[in-house]
Structure 1
Amino acid sequence: MAKGTKKQDGSLPNGGLLPESNDTTVGLKQNLGLLSGTAMIVGTMIGSGIFISPKGVLEGTGSVALSLIIWTMCGLLATMGALSYAELGTAIPESGGEHAYLMYTYRPMSKTLGQIPAFLYIWVGIFIIRPTMFAVISLALGTYVVKPFFPMCEYPDLAVKIVTIVAMLIITFINAFSVKIATMVQNFFTFAKLIAIAMIIIGGIIKIAMGNIDYIGEGFEDTRQDPSLIAIAFYNGLWSFDGWNNLNFVTEELKRPEKNLPRSIMIGIPLVTVCYVLTNIGYFSVMSKEEILLSHAVAVTWGDRVLGVMSWSIPVFVAMSCFGAANGILFSTARLCYTASRAGHLPQILSYIHIRRLTPVPSILFTALVSIILIIPGDIDTLIDFYSFCAWIVYGGTVATLLVLRRTKRDIERPYKVPIFIPILVVIISCYLVISPIIQSPRIQFLYAFLFILSGLFVYVPVIHYKKHPPFMGKLTLMLQKLLEVVPSKKD
């Protein structure tokens, strides 16, 4: 029986079902234009980071001036990384981001070993990188919702996690229900979060104009010299910029990706960088370094100092900002699971699409489940360090793939071509961000992350290389198909 053909009962050989129509498969549609693409980048990047990371950046740098420099450099690094990804995304116009690029580059080199880099990325991506992003942003949302109810004391951790999980379930429902509604939510909350940023920027400018320059005037006072602490400061700053690669996960749903992908990047990331630097200046206009280091919700403290009776608006806008960012993370992460499953690196059910709503429901639910599991024992600071270490291994490795393609695939069409020095710089900086904290200030979470990456090899050999699958997978796939009303997708 040929692969994908139906049995007499209408089922696939692996136990799945095909829809009853002339078209045996369904697929994702191109719903994202330049505005939606830019909104996804801006909306995902401006999430929780700018409202929680100033504390982490300041801890690593020790001074006001160096912290502002780190924020600017983080924006520059994110831009360089995104432009490198833009070349990969336009030359390899497939959804799935890093997974698609690693498969395209290395699989032709060796049928046996060529899939290992892509599989290890999936192994880390679906269990650490992407779910941790969703979890941390959602935790920040829960923190800013609960904090105003406990203005004079420590808020209960259980309350934060309950609010967080409820928000995650709402976002999951929206993404499973409709791609159009999910993108509308993304666009709306992008403008809402820009209002929150604008309030802090304008309020800060007014305070500075009134003469509040004591804290900003400290300059490089108390600057730290430890390179590992600077790397941790970068981790916190780059966490705020993370999401710059999210559009690469949904390339197949982007209209005219060869033009709209680099344009969205060139509009979105510089806008976010300017907003972040000005927002930090806004914080320093009324808050000292010591106060920022002691605050669990920097924007709330700023609002209490500047807005008076309107201080309630800051937690509301920050919660909306986090909601929009979490929505963008889930939207793109579900597409990663979807494309990896199509390539055979995840259970086939994760590549199935809802027969009427045309949303990747199984991959959405899977991502949400892993993220909720991370929420239960985790805290924001630990999750950020764990995430950043793994993420920059992936980012550096993926950008290095661009350099490999420049030599092995010189003739492929490249609608956008980044200057070669940019990916080289990104690879060098990625090595620094990964190696420096290990050498200077080793932490147990770095060892856990490294061991988890290696553990993927013990899954790859039997499951991917030798194709040994549990005997119950066919029945489980069929049961989930009927329950979720999903069918195999087609690849255009």
Structure 2
Amino acid sequence: MREDKARNRKGTKNGNVVKNPETHSHQSGDEVKATALQKDVGLISGICLIVGTMIGSGIFISPKSVLLNTGAVGPCLCVWAASGVLATLGALCYAELGTMITKSGGEYPYLMEAFGPIPAFLYSWTSVVVLKPSSFAIIALSFAEYSAAPFYPGCSPPTIIIKCLAAASILLIVTVNSISVKLASYVQNFFTAAKLIIIFVIIGAGIVLLAQGNTQHFSNAFESKTSFGAIGLAFYNGLWAYDGWNQLNFITEELKNPCRNLPLAIIIGIPLVTVCYILVNIAYFTVMSPTELLQSQAVAVTFGDRVLYPVSWIVPLFVVFSTFGAANGTCFTAGRLIYVAGREGHMIKILSYISVRRFTPSPAIIFNAIAPTDPAFKSQGILSIIYIIPADINTLINYFSFAGWGFYGVTVLALIVMRFTRKDLERPVKVPIFIPVIVVVLSFYLLLAPIIDKPEWEYLYCTAFILSGLVVYLLFVHLKFSWTRKVMGPITMHLQMLMEVVPTEEQQ
């Protein structure tokens, strides 16, 4: 491997790697791209990634839970609007972080810069093992439910069918993202366009029904009683539908002109999704009473059956497109977190390598590594498949939201801290200080409200799991047992040759 690295160093010229017949025979010409992630994601693809990841399963499965926890139409719509505002404020804070620290990996490099390696490791530990796979699993299960529904009219599809379809979709998406960044971007753009079609169809139908006077379900819209913690749970489900607002921060190194395109994609993408979500929920209530909506097995399908018959079949078809696109976006960004953490030494090194043929972090996407240096970090796809086996979607959403918004709050707190500790950093985008303060306060409200109102063991288990990462960090990162290096060295070498992957030029 030392000889390979030496050849790579000698073969560089003006920042490019000179053609190597052993590893670059697929390229034409005297020069090829440098062995690094390529800046292939433009503004349109960035907007599509945000919109395509946010509009997934949430708007089709969360309305019931939001309504259940708010108790009436008025507070329900307020939660949807407030969730969009909170997501926008959080994304603006992330825009400052992303243009100040132009590294991929989402929250990971920001926590590393502000608080050091331990909080960054705890985030990567929690995200790779819980947050990203559970998110992927929720979306895949939603995809499978809507895919199977037309084949089982009048009854629910068998559980085994749903879980097999979910597993198959995960494997397909992982394959696409391992082959090419551009292919994954094309897939994302196509399915984003498809999901916007069904959103606009639902919104258009709702506007027509409102114009015809179907407003009876909006009378006495605020007559409800709810609790402090129930509002927090309503936000959990509403914010789950908005999850994805931070996705561009995971691929900053692959974004063209990030100082311009990152904030611009946020400003365009998230308000667009917020308006769509509010209008879609209004459309639902023009057709269904609150009681009927809570009793519906699939809210969008019920809406289609009542409004779009005899072409109501387009609703489950386009919901399938929507969830598949969201799953693709989740997979696309999750691999970059694993890649960056591996580059920092918080995971096995092979996960920080990229394909010499496709310039994708394919090991981070597909590699199922149970390695002595870090036994917990497995592939995004494999863990997601594990999560769908015992899956209950609402439980997964609450588990995801509790851990996720804890780290979102700490990350925005890092922005405030670095305003004082890292004044030397250039900030192409700088938000007013009250915005991160509001996001931090609301994040910790979301973290504490459900626990205070209705304590459950699951929250304690989640907290204990996050803190258990301290033991893993001490044993396998801080102490770095010598025997792990002896074992992993030969394994890494053989896997590198098998998968045709190399360190990026900055690692060599």
Normalised by the length of structure 1, the TM-score is 0.93
CA change 1:446–1:8 in 2 (3 A) is closer
2: CA distance, partners of 1:177 / 1:227 = 47
Select 1:429's aligned residue among 424, 436, 442: 442
1: CA distance, partners of 2:274 / 2:445 = 22
User: What is the Cα deviation at residue 42 of structure 1?
Assistant: 0.5
- 1:159 aligned residue: 161
Which one-letter code corresponds to 2:122 in the other structure? Answer: L
Asked if structure 2 preserves the Cα contact closer than 8 Å seen for 1:25 and 1:487, the reply is no
User: What is the Cα deviation at residue 220 of structure 1?
Assistant: 1.1
Asked if structure 2 preserves the Cα contact closer than 8 Å seen for 1:216 and 1:281, the reply is no
CA change 1:46–1:20 in 2 (3 A) is closer
User: What is the Cα deviation at residue 330 of structure 1?
Assistant: 0.3
- 1:315 aligned residue: 316
Which one-letter code corresponds to 1:331 in the other structure? Answer: F
- 1:42 aligned residue: 51
User: What is the Cα deviation at residue 472 of structure 1?
Assistant: 2.5
- 2:382 aligned residue: 369
Where 1:473 maps in the other structure, the secondary structure is helix
Which one-letter code corresponds to 2:491 in the other structure? Answer: L
- 1:15 aligned residue: none
Asked if structure 1 preserves the Cα contact closer than 8 Å seen for 2:23 and 2:356, the reply is no
Number of aligned residue pairs: 476
Asked if structure 1 preserves the Cα contact closer than 8 Å seen for 2:413 and 2:436, the reply is yes
Select 2:121's aligned residue among 119, 122, 147: 119
- 1:246 aligned residue: 247
- 2:356 aligned residue: 355
1: CA distance, partners of 2:228 / 2:152 = 37
CA change 1:433–1:417 in 2 (3 A) is same
Which one-letter code corresponds to 2:62 in the other structure? Answer: S
- 1:406 aligned residue: 419
1:127-158, CA deviations, whole angstroms, 9 ceiling, x for partnerless residues?
A: 11111111111111011111222232232111
Where 2:219 maps in the other structure, the secondary structure is helix
- 2:342 aligned residue: 341
1: CA distance, partners of 2:43 / 2:506 = 23
Asked if structure 2 preserves the Cα contact closer than 8 Å seen for 1:49 and 1:241, the reply is yes
- 1:76 aligned residue: 85
2: CA distance, partners of 1:465 / 1:490 = 25
Cα-Cα RMSD: 2.0
Which one-letter code corresponds to 1:27 in the other structure? Answer: A
Moved more, 249-258 or 145-154: 145-154
1:181-237, CA deviations, whole angstroms, 9 ceiling, x for partnerless residues?
A: 10011111111100010011011111111221111224112x232010100000000
Which one-letter code corresponds to 2:450 in the other structure? Answer: P
1:151-300 equivalent positions in 2, closer than 5 A: 151-221=153-223, 223-300=224-301
1: CA distance, partners of 2:505 / 2:410 = 29
- 1:489 aligned residue: 504
Asked if structure 2 preserves the Cα contact closer than 8 Å seen for 1:52 and 1:296, the reply is no
CA change 1:309–1:130 in 2 (3 A) is same
Asked if structure 2 preserves the Cα contact closer than 8 Å seen for 1:196 and 1:318, the reply is yes
Asked if structure 1 preserves the Cα contact closer than 8 Å seen for 2:71 and 2:226, the reply is no
- 1:110 aligned residue: none
Which one-letter code corresponds to 1:327 in the other structure? Answer: N
2: CA distance, partners of 1:478 / 1:304 = 57
- 1:378 aligned residue: 391
1:375-401, CA deviations, whole angstroms, 9 ceiling, x for partnerless residues?
A: 111121111000000001100000000
2: CA distance, partners of 1:398 / 1:253 = 21
Select 2:404's aligned residue among 380, 383, 391: 391
1:453-477, CA deviations, whole angstroms, 9 ceiling, x for partnerless residues?
A: 0110010001111112634322322
Moved more, 473-482 or 114-123: 473-482
Moved more, 235-244 or 295-304: 295-304
Asked if structure 2 preserves the Cα contact closer than 8 Å seen for 1:81 and 1:399, the reply is yes
2: CA distance, partners of 1:483 / 1:356 = 13
1:143-154 equivalent positions in 2, closer than 5 A: 143-154=145-156
Percent of aligned pairs sharing the same letter: 52
User: What is the Cα deviation at residue 32 of structure 1?
Assistant: 0.9
Structure 1 segments (4+ residues) deviating >6 Å: 7-11, 21-25
User: What is the Cα deviation at residue 5 of structure 1?
Assistant: 4.0
